[in-house]
Structure 1
Amino acid sequence: MAIEVITREDLIEFRSLLLNDLKQLIQPQSQQIKQWLKSNEVRKLLNISPGTLQNLRVNGTLSFTKVGGIMYYSYSDIEKVLSGNIQNKDTRLFK
C-alpha cells in the first residue's frame, strides 16, 4: 500500500478546478432563457390557472402562436405584459 502526500498546492489547484466546474454548470442555466414557452411553462412562470391563461389569450392581453395544436408564447411578450401592468400602491387602493 503506497502512501500519497497531498500538498497545499494540490488542494489549491483542486479548489480552483472545482470552482471553475461549478461556475460552468451554474452559468448556462441562469443565462439560458427560452424564447418561446408552452402553455404549462407560462402557467408555472406566472403561477396562474389554465382558465386564467385562456382569459389572457381571449381578451388579447397575451399574444400566442399556435403550431400543430400547441400554443407558444413569446417570453418577451410576457415581459411586456408584466411591465405594462405595473401599478404603484396608491392607485391600487382606489380600484
Structure 2
Amino acid sequence: MAIEILTKEDLNQFHKSLLEDIKEILKGKNEQSKKWLKSTEVRKLLNISPGTLQNLRINGTLTYTKVGGIIYYSDLDIEKLFEINKVQATPNLFKQQ
C-alpha cells in the first residue's frame, strides 16, 4: 500500500473545493432553487433522520411553517443555519513539528 503525504496546500485545495460544492448545493446552481422545501427534501439535503429534523424544529434551531399538516422550511433559513454553525478553520492544526 502506497503512502501519500498531504501538504497544507492539498488541505487548502480540498477546503476550497468542499466549500464550493456546498455553495453550489445551497444555491441550486444546477437547478432552480425552491423557496420552500418539504421535510423529505430538507432531510435529504442535510442527510439527517426524521427524528433529528424534529429535534431541530422543537429546540428552535430551524424555523418552519405548517400548512394543512405539511411542514415547509425556508431555503434561506437552512442557509442561515449553515452560516450560524460555521466553524472557522484552524491554520495551525496541521502544523509540522
- TM over 0.5, yes or no? yes
What's the CA shift for 1:88? Answer: 2.4
For 1:54, the aligned partner's letter is: Q
Could you list the runs of 5+ residues in structure 2 that have no partner in the other structure? 1-28, 91-97
Match of 2:14 in 1: none
Per-residue Cα deviation, 1:27-84 (whole angstroms, up to 9, x for no partner):
xx72500000000000000000000000000000000000000000000000001111
Match of 1:47 in 2: 47
For 1:88, the aligned partner's letter is: Q
Quick check: which one's helix share is greater? 1
Distance 1:80 1:48 in 2: 17
Question: Could you say what secondary structure the match of 1:88 adopts?
Answer: coil
What's the CA shift for 1:89? Answer: 4.5
Question: Could you say what secondary structure the match of 2:30 adopts?
Answer: helix
The answer to whether structure 1 residue 83 and structure 2 residue 83 are counterparts is yes
Tell me the C-alpha RMSD between the 2 structures: 1.8
Structure showing greater Rg: 1
Paired residues in the alignment total 63
**Deviation above 6 Å: which 4+ runs of structure 1?**
none
Question: Could you say what secondary structure the match of 1:30 adopts?
Answer: coil
% identical equivalent positions = 66
For 1:36, the aligned partner's letter is: W
